[in-house]
Structures are given as C-alpha cells and as structure tokens.
Amino acid sequence: MEYFFCVFNKKSIRVDIYLSTLFADFSRSYIQKIIDKGYVKINWKIINKNIKINYKDVVNIKLIIEKLNILPEKINLDIIYQDNNFLIVNKDAWINTHPVPWELWKTNTLVNALLYHIKDLSWIWWVERPWIVHRLDKDTSWLLMIAKNDKTMLYLQNIIKNREVWKYYIAIVNWIIKENIKIESYIWREINNRLKMSVKNYINWKLAITYVNPIKYIDNKYSIVEVKIETWRTHQIRVHLSSIWHSILWDKTYWNKNVNNEVYKKYGIDRQALHSYKLEFFYNNKQMIFIWDLKNDMKKIIWNYTLKNNIFEFF
C-alpha cells in the first residue's frame, strides 16, 4: 500500500509519532522500521525517524508487510467457539495479544498460542498483526475474534467498521452511577503520549459512542455496570468513563491512585476491572451470540458482594 498526502497539522512533530498516530493500525516500531528502510519520503526526500514533520509537507509512505518469525508456544487458550473461518477466545488478563518490541518480543503472546493450538491458520499477509481482527488492552479480559483467512478477516473488519457488531462489557467503576448513560464524543490519540487517548488531539479524530447501564453497587462506593459500545475505538470505554468521573477500578492510565490502592487492599484486584462478556453479530446470515463468564479476579470482588447480599443475579 502506498500513500501520498499533504500535512495540515500546523504543529511540528516527529515523523514517526505523526505517522503512527495517523495510521493507527500500525505500531510506532513498525513505522520506524519502514522509515529506516527508506519507505517514507518527505517532500520527495528519504528521511530518518528523528526529523520533524511540518505544515504543508508532502508525504509519501509505503506500508510493506513482512511475514514475522513467530514461534508456536504451548500456552493455555480458552477457546469458546471455532469453525473453519474464525474462532472466539476468552483471553486472560496480562497476556499480550501479539508480539511487541518493548516487552517479551516474540514470546508469551496470544499469537504464539494460536500458532500452537490452531493448525489451519492461513497467513494473512496484508495486516501487521496476523489473524487479530480487533484490538484489546493487555490487562483486560474479554472475548476476542480471530480470523483464520483473508476472506474472514475482511468480513469481520467490515462489519465492525459498519457498526454491525455489538460488544458488551462488565466493568466496576468508581462512585455511584444511578441512571443509564449514553456518552458520545470524539476521541484521539495524544500526540506526545501514544499510549493514551485524549479529546485534545486533532490527528485522526474519530467518533465514539458508549452506553452505560448500572446493575448493582458495592459498599455504596463502586458501581457494577454493563457497557455496550457502538463504535470500537482505542481505550474508548476507559476514556469515556473517566470523562464522566467514573474511572474503571485499577485503570493505570485514567485512574484514581488512592481508590485503586484501597480496592487492592480490600479485594486483591490489581488490573483494570473490565471484562468483555458478550459478542453479537451476523455471519453467513446467521446470528452469532457468544456469552462468557467473568475471570476469577473480577469474580472475587463481585462474588464476595453477591454472597453477602444475594442480589447479583446478572450471571
């Protein structure tokens, strides 16, 4: 894939940061790699990753995907559905989805586990992260769709893009939410902190829509909520809940440190209390609905409360 375009961002910024923000499906390390190989030109000149891009610069970029040297690993997978075209995995928290350069580069990821457990995966050449249809945070547990071939990858990505996939979460958030809430806003990746999303960044802004429905309460301090997302944006739920002062417990990016320390001491939870428990979409004119239980660490805080009060009947 090759792109030509003119820069309309009036603030000077490092070219690798700008491009990895603009092309959000590709990591910053990947952008740096193709810059080093001469696949990025600014004003028709090959550049290095340290230069800054400026207003009205002309950019030429070639996105070249190379087959990664990833080895199979015997890692437990909670596969809840599988057919010839895709599978649904209930991912544990703390497992990386795909290899990343700054942490456990080629080991202990979901992709390593897939290569071990699934023998009929065909290589998907046109994406940086083969088979992974949609993104997820490392310390979130949830249902994840995995494509086995190009045709299925394209189909699943298109129905996500067209808002034809509904994803539901259970989250435990700070303070009490009393009414159903719809949150609609534009969110962006921060220019100077690619790990964080913001409403102040004006590169590649995207609309995000989130629905929050309260279920029960814990200690009159925290709310157990069901979250439904209409759009699939990076950190969407975390950013939206934080924007209304109801951050997810143990969210380390959009967090309340004092609350998190209190929750850890009382309940032992030390990762963001967010679990994707339900997926709905159509595949080959058939409605697919997948529902799966919470992981044990989130059950602990909810289960303790359930035993005492016998009220959490959602599951």
Contact 147, 133 (CB under 8 A): yes
pLDDT given for residue 311 in this prediction: 40
pLDDT given for residue 137 in this prediction: 60
Do 214 and 88 have their domain in common?
Answer: no
Question: Is residue 87 included in any domain, yes or no?
Answer: yes
Q: Is the pLDDT of residue 194 over 70?
A: no
Do 304 and 170 have their domain in common?
Answer: yes
CA separation for the pair 30, 269 (Å, rounded): 34
Question: Is residue 89 included in any domain, yes or no?
Answer: yes
Question: Is residue 69 included in any domain, yes or no?
Answer: no
- Which residues form the domain of 46? 2-62
Q: Which of 139, 161, 183 is the last residue of a domain?
A: 161
Question: Is residue 73 included in any domain, yes or no?
Answer: no
Do 50 and 84 have their domain in common?
Answer: no
Question: Is residue 236 included in any domain, yes or no?
Answer: yes
**Number of domains within the chain:** 3
Do 144 and 242 have their domain in common?
Answer: no
Please write the tens of the pLDDT for every residue from 62-98.
887 666 677 788 888 888 899 999 989 887 766 777 6
Strands 274-283 vs 52-53: parallel, antiparallel or unpaired: unpaired
Do 247 and 193 have their domain in common?
Answer: yes
Sorted by sequence, the CB contacts under 8 Å of residue 288 that are 6+ apart come out as: 279, 280, 281, 282
Do 299 and 193 have their domain in common?
Answer: yes
Question: Is residue 287 included in any domain, yes or no?
Answer: no
Do 17 and 39 have their domain in common?
Answer: yes
Per the model's pLDDT, the better-predicted residue between 222 and 22 turns out to be 222
Distances (CA, A) of 136 to 26, 34, 46, 142, 263: 14, 24, 34, 8, 23
Question: Is residue 128 included in any domain, yes or no?
Answer: yes
Q: Which amino acid is at 155?
A: Y
Sign of CA pseudo-dihedral 37, 39, 45, 49: negative
Q: Which of 108, 134, 161 is the last residue of a domain?
A: 161
Do 241 and 215 have their domain in common?
Answer: yes
Q: Residue written as tokens 């586990």?
A: 113
Do 183 and 156 have their domain in common?
Answer: no
Query: For 247-267, what is the mean pLDDT?
Result: 81
Please write the tens of the pLDDT for every residue from 258-313.
777 888 888 888 888 888 888 899 998 899 999 887 777 788 778 665 444 444 34
pLDDT given for residue 193 in this prediction: 67
Query: Which residues are part of the catalytic machinery?
Result: 137
pLDDT > 90: percent of the chain: 21
Of 281, 277, 271, give the one whose Cα is nearest residue 225: 277
Q: What CATH number does residue 195 fall under?
A: 3.30.2350.10
Do 179 and 104 have their domain in common?
Answer: no
Do 105 and 35 have their domain in common?
Answer: no
Please write the tens of the pLDDT for every residue from 12-62.
888 988 888 788 667 777 888 889 989 999 999 998 888 899 999 999 998
CA separation for the pair 209, 154 (Å, rounded): 23
Q: Residue written as tokens 């925290």?
A: 222
Q: Is the pLDDT of residue 108 over 60?
A: yes
Do 224 and 268 have their domain in common?
Answer: yes
pLDDT tier at 315, thresholds 50, 70, 90: very low
pLDDT given for residue 178 in this prediction: 93
Angle at which helix 257-267 crosses helix 296-309, to 10 degrees, equals: 70
Please write the tens of the pLDDT for every residue from 144-157.
888 888 888 888 88
Q: Which of 142, 161, 180 is the last residue of a domain?
A: 161
Question: Is residue 72 included in any domain, yes or no?
Answer: no
